[in-house]
Amino acid sequence: MTDTAPVTLITGSARRIGAAIAGRLHQAGHRIVLHAHRSSDELQERAFAFERARPGSVLALQADLRDADALPDLVDQAVAHFGRLDALVNNASNFFATPVGQITAEAIDDLYAVNARAPLLLAQAAAPHLRRQQGCIVNLTDLHGSTPMRDHPAYSMAKAALEMATRSLALELAPKVRVNAVAPGAILWPEQGKDDFAQEALLARTPLARIGTVEEIAEAVRWLIEDAGFVTGHTLRLDGGRTL
Protein backbone atom coordinates (compact mmCIF):
# COMPACT_ATOMS: atom_id res chain seq x y z
CA MET A 1 0.00 0.00 0.00
CA THR A 2 1.46 3.31 -1.09
CA ASP A 3 1.02 6.38 1.08
CA THR A 4 0.09 8.34 -2.05
CA ALA A 5 -3.19 6.47 -2.50
CA PRO A 6 -6.14 8.83 -1.89
CA VAL A 7 -7.99 8.60 1.41
CA THR A 8 -11.78 8.89 1.51
CA LEU A 9 -14.02 9.10 4.58
CA ILE A 10 -17.55 7.79 3.94
CA THR A 11 -20.24 8.15 6.57
CA GLY A 12 -22.85 5.42 6.89
CA SER A 13 -20.73 3.05 4.83
CA ALA A 14 -21.45 -0.30 6.47
CA ARG A 15 -24.65 -1.03 4.56
CA ARG A 16 -26.78 -0.27 1.49
CA ILE A 17 -25.70 2.67 -0.71
CA GLY A 18 -22.81 3.65 1.55
CA ALA A 19 -21.35 0.15 1.39
CA ALA A 20 -21.55 0.18 -2.40
CA ILE A 21 -19.77 3.55 -2.54
CA ALA A 22 -17.04 2.27 -0.24
CA GLY A 23 -16.61 -0.86 -2.33
CA ARG A 24 -16.39 1.05 -5.60
CA LEU A 25 -13.82 3.52 -4.29
CA HIS A 26 -11.78 0.78 -2.67
CA GLN A 27 -11.78 -1.04 -5.99
CA ALA A 28 -10.55 2.19 -7.61
CA GLY A 29 -7.53 2.26 -5.29
CA HIS A 30 -8.71 4.51 -2.47
CA ARG A 31 -7.88 3.92 1.15
CA ILE A 32 -11.22 3.96 2.93
CA VAL A 33 -12.34 5.28 6.30
CA LEU A 34 -15.56 3.41 7.00
CA HIS A 35 -18.08 4.82 9.44
CA ALA A 36 -21.20 3.43 11.06
CA HIS A 37 -23.31 4.20 14.09
CA ARG A 38 -25.21 1.04 15.03
CA SER A 39 -24.20 -1.39 12.25
CA SER A 40 -21.09 -2.60 14.07
CA ASP A 41 -21.16 -6.18 12.74
CA GLU A 42 -21.53 -5.06 9.12
CA LEU A 43 -18.85 -2.42 9.65
CA GLN A 44 -16.32 -4.97 10.88
CA GLU A 45 -17.19 -7.46 8.14
CA ARG A 46 -16.63 -4.83 5.46
CA ALA A 47 -13.40 -3.67 7.06
CA PHE A 48 -12.07 -7.24 7.20
CA ALA A 49 -12.97 -7.78 3.54
CA PHE A 50 -11.15 -4.62 2.47
CA GLU A 51 -8.14 -5.48 4.59
CA ARG A 52 -7.93 -8.97 3.10
CA ALA A 53 -8.10 -7.54 -0.40
CA ARG A 54 -5.50 -4.84 0.26
CA PRO A 55 -3.71 -4.73 3.62
CA GLY A 56 -3.47 -1.31 5.20
CA SER A 57 -6.29 0.14 3.12
CA VAL A 58 -9.06 0.59 5.68
CA LEU A 59 -9.94 2.20 9.00
CA ALA A 60 -13.31 1.49 10.67
CA LEU A 61 -14.85 4.06 13.03
CA GLN A 62 -18.11 4.24 14.96
CA ALA A 63 -19.84 7.45 15.97
CA ASP A 64 -23.30 8.92 16.46
CA LEU A 65 -23.51 11.78 13.96
CA ARG A 66 -26.10 13.49 16.14
CA ASP A 67 -23.29 14.15 18.62
CA ALA A 68 -21.69 17.31 17.23
CA ASP A 69 -18.65 16.92 19.48
CA ALA A 70 -17.81 13.55 17.89
CA LEU A 71 -17.60 14.88 14.34
CA PRO A 72 -14.18 16.58 14.33
CA ASP A 73 -12.76 13.46 15.97
CA LEU A 74 -13.81 11.33 12.96
CA VAL A 75 -11.72 13.56 10.70
CA ASP A 76 -8.84 13.69 13.19
CA GLN A 77 -8.71 9.90 13.48
CA ALA A 78 -8.73 9.49 9.70
CA VAL A 79 -5.86 11.93 9.24
CA ALA A 80 -3.90 10.53 12.19
CA HIS A 81 -4.16 7.03 10.75
CA PHE A 82 -3.47 7.72 7.07
CA GLY A 83 -1.69 11.07 7.17
CA ARG A 84 -4.05 12.77 4.72
CA LEU A 85 -7.66 13.16 3.63
CA ASP A 86 -8.61 13.55 -0.04
CA ALA A 87 -12.38 13.18 -0.06
CA LEU A 88 -15.38 13.23 2.25
CA VAL A 89 -18.61 11.47 1.27
CA ASN A 90 -21.53 12.48 3.47
CA ASN A 91 -23.76 9.48 2.85
CA ALA A 92 -25.27 8.75 6.27
CA SER A 93 -28.96 9.55 6.59
CA ASN A 94 -31.95 8.87 8.77
CA PHE A 95 -35.49 8.73 7.44
CA PHE A 96 -38.93 8.57 9.01
CA ALA A 97 -42.32 10.17 8.52
CA THR A 98 -43.42 13.35 10.27
CA PRO A 99 -47.06 13.92 9.22
CA VAL A 100 -48.42 17.38 10.00
CA GLY A 101 -50.19 17.20 13.33
CA GLN A 102 -47.64 14.70 14.67
CA ILE A 103 -44.41 16.68 14.20
CA THR A 104 -42.27 17.15 17.29
CA ALA A 105 -39.25 19.34 17.87
CA GLU A 106 -37.29 16.20 18.73
CA ALA A 107 -38.11 14.60 15.36
CA ILE A 108 -37.07 17.73 13.47
CA ASP A 109 -33.82 17.95 15.43
CA ASP A 110 -33.06 14.26 14.88
CA LEU A 111 -33.58 14.42 11.10
CA TYR A 112 -31.76 17.72 10.74
CA ALA A 113 -28.79 16.62 12.87
CA VAL A 114 -27.94 13.63 10.67
CA ASN A 115 -29.06 14.87 7.25
CA ALA A 116 -27.83 18.47 7.36
CA ARG A 117 -25.89 19.52 10.47
CA ALA A 118 -23.43 16.61 10.54
CA PRO A 119 -22.41 16.95 6.85
CA LEU A 120 -21.78 20.68 7.33
CA LEU A 121 -19.72 20.23 10.49
CA LEU A 122 -17.77 17.32 8.99
CA ALA A 123 -17.03 19.44 5.94
CA GLN A 124 -15.78 22.22 8.17
CA ALA A 125 -13.50 19.86 10.08
CA ALA A 126 -12.22 18.25 6.88
CA ALA A 127 -11.70 21.46 4.91
CA PRO A 128 -8.09 22.22 5.96
CA HIS A 129 -6.99 18.68 5.07
CA LEU A 130 -8.95 18.66 1.80
CA ARG A 131 -7.41 21.98 0.78
CA ARG A 132 -3.94 20.50 1.11
CA GLN A 133 -4.87 17.69 -1.29
CA GLN A 134 -7.10 19.81 -3.56
CA GLY A 135 -9.74 17.30 -2.62
CA CYS A 136 -13.51 17.20 -2.72
CA ILE A 137 -16.77 16.56 -0.90
CA VAL A 138 -19.75 14.60 -2.20
CA ASN A 139 -23.05 14.83 -0.34
CA LEU A 140 -25.86 12.29 -0.77
CA THR A 141 -29.04 14.32 -0.94
CA ASP A 142 -32.45 13.21 -2.23
CA LEU A 143 -34.93 14.15 -4.92
CA HIS A 144 -37.13 15.20 -2.02
CA GLY A 145 -34.68 17.96 -1.16
CA SER A 146 -36.26 19.87 -4.04
CA THR A 147 -39.65 18.15 -4.40
CA PRO A 148 -41.45 17.50 -1.11
CA MET A 149 -42.48 14.01 -0.08
CA ARG A 150 -45.95 13.64 1.40
CA ASP A 151 -45.92 13.02 5.18
CA HIS A 152 -42.16 13.77 5.35
CA PRO A 153 -41.87 17.58 5.68
CA ALA A 154 -39.05 17.46 8.24
CA TYR A 155 -36.99 15.00 6.19
CA SER A 156 -37.56 16.99 2.99
CA MET A 157 -36.58 20.18 4.82
CA ALA A 158 -33.34 18.60 6.07
CA LYS A 159 -32.37 17.35 2.62
CA ALA A 160 -33.14 20.78 1.16
CA ALA A 161 -30.72 22.22 3.72
CA LEU A 162 -28.07 19.77 2.52
CA GLU A 163 -28.66 20.90 -1.07
CA MET A 164 -27.96 24.49 -0.01
CA ALA A 165 -24.97 23.41 2.07
CA THR A 166 -23.54 21.79 -1.07
CA ARG A 167 -23.81 25.01 -3.04
CA SER A 168 -22.64 27.22 -0.18
CA LEU A 169 -19.61 25.04 0.57
CA ALA A 170 -18.70 24.95 -3.12
CA LEU A 171 -18.49 28.73 -3.00
CA GLU A 172 -16.73 28.93 0.36
CA LEU A 173 -14.10 26.24 -0.31
CA ALA A 174 -13.25 27.11 -3.93
CA PRO A 175 -10.86 26.98 -5.65
CA LYS A 176 -9.03 24.27 -3.70
CA VAL A 177 -11.97 22.01 -2.79
CA ARG A 178 -14.84 20.95 -5.03
CA VAL A 179 -18.23 20.21 -3.45
CA ASN A 180 -21.01 18.35 -5.25
CA ALA A 181 -24.00 16.16 -4.47
CA VAL A 182 -25.79 13.10 -5.80
CA ALA A 183 -29.57 13.03 -5.44
CA PRO A 184 -30.80 9.46 -5.94
CA GLY A 185 -34.31 8.62 -6.98
CA ALA A 186 -35.66 5.20 -6.06
CA ILE A 187 -32.61 2.98 -5.58
CA LEU A 188 -33.54 0.57 -2.80
CA TRP A 189 -37.04 0.12 -1.45
CA PRO A 190 -37.31 1.28 2.18
CA GLU A 191 -36.33 -1.38 4.71
CA GLN A 192 -39.75 -1.03 6.36
CA GLY A 193 -41.29 -2.03 3.05
CA LYS A 194 -43.30 -0.43 0.25
CA ASP A 195 -46.48 -2.12 -0.95
CA ASP A 196 -46.81 -3.37 -4.53
CA PHE A 197 -49.24 -0.62 -5.52
CA ALA A 198 -46.86 2.11 -4.27
CA GLN A 199 -43.93 0.51 -6.10
CA GLU A 200 -45.90 0.30 -9.35
CA ALA A 201 -47.09 3.91 -9.01
CA LEU A 202 -43.54 5.15 -8.52
CA LEU A 203 -42.22 3.19 -11.49
CA ALA A 204 -45.06 4.58 -13.62
CA ARG A 205 -43.69 8.08 -12.92
CA THR A 206 -40.14 7.04 -13.89
CA PRO A 207 -39.42 7.26 -17.64
CA LEU A 208 -36.75 4.54 -17.47
CA ALA A 209 -39.35 2.28 -15.76
CA ARG A 210 -37.04 0.79 -13.15
CA ILE A 211 -35.37 1.64 -9.89
CA GLY A 212 -31.69 2.47 -9.97
CA THR A 213 -28.89 0.33 -8.56
CA VAL A 214 -26.47 1.02 -5.75
CA GLU A 215 -23.67 0.41 -8.25
CA GLU A 216 -24.92 3.30 -10.39
CA ILE A 217 -24.88 5.63 -7.40
CA ALA A 218 -21.42 4.44 -6.39
CA GLU A 219 -20.04 5.05 -9.87
CA ALA A 220 -21.52 8.56 -9.91
CA VAL A 221 -19.75 9.33 -6.64
CA ARG A 222 -16.49 7.94 -8.00
CA TRP A 223 -16.86 10.10 -11.12
CA LEU A 224 -17.46 13.25 -9.08
CA ILE A 225 -14.37 12.52 -6.99
CA GLU A 226 -11.96 11.37 -9.68
CA ASP A 227 -13.06 12.71 -13.05
CA ALA A 228 -15.24 15.79 -12.59
CA GLY A 229 -12.43 18.30 -12.17
CA PHE A 230 -14.43 21.27 -13.48
CA VAL A 231 -17.67 20.50 -11.64
CA THR A 232 -18.54 22.12 -8.32
CA GLY A 233 -21.76 23.22 -6.63
CA HIS A 234 -23.72 20.74 -8.73
CA THR A 235 -26.35 18.18 -7.72
CA LEU A 236 -26.39 15.17 -10.02
CA ARG A 237 -29.91 13.73 -10.07
CA LEU A 238 -29.88 9.98 -10.65
CA ASP A 239 -33.58 9.35 -10.88
CA GLY A 240 -34.32 7.56 -14.16
CA GLY A 241 -35.92 10.77 -15.41
CA ARG A 242 -38.50 10.96 -12.62
CA THR A 243 -38.11 14.72 -12.17
CA LEU A 244 -39.30 15.17 -15.76
Please list the active-site residues.
155
SS3 label, residue 235: strand
**∠ CA 40-41-44, rounded to 5°:** 85
Answer yes or no: are the C-beta atoms of 152 and 207 closer than 8 Å: no
List alpha helices for 134-229, DSSP H.
153-173, 196-204, 214-226
Q: How far is CA 176 from CA 172, 226, 229, 235, in A?
A: 10, 15, 11, 19
SS3 label, residue 119: helix
CA distance 173 to 180: 12
- DSSP H or E stretch at residue 73: helix 71-82
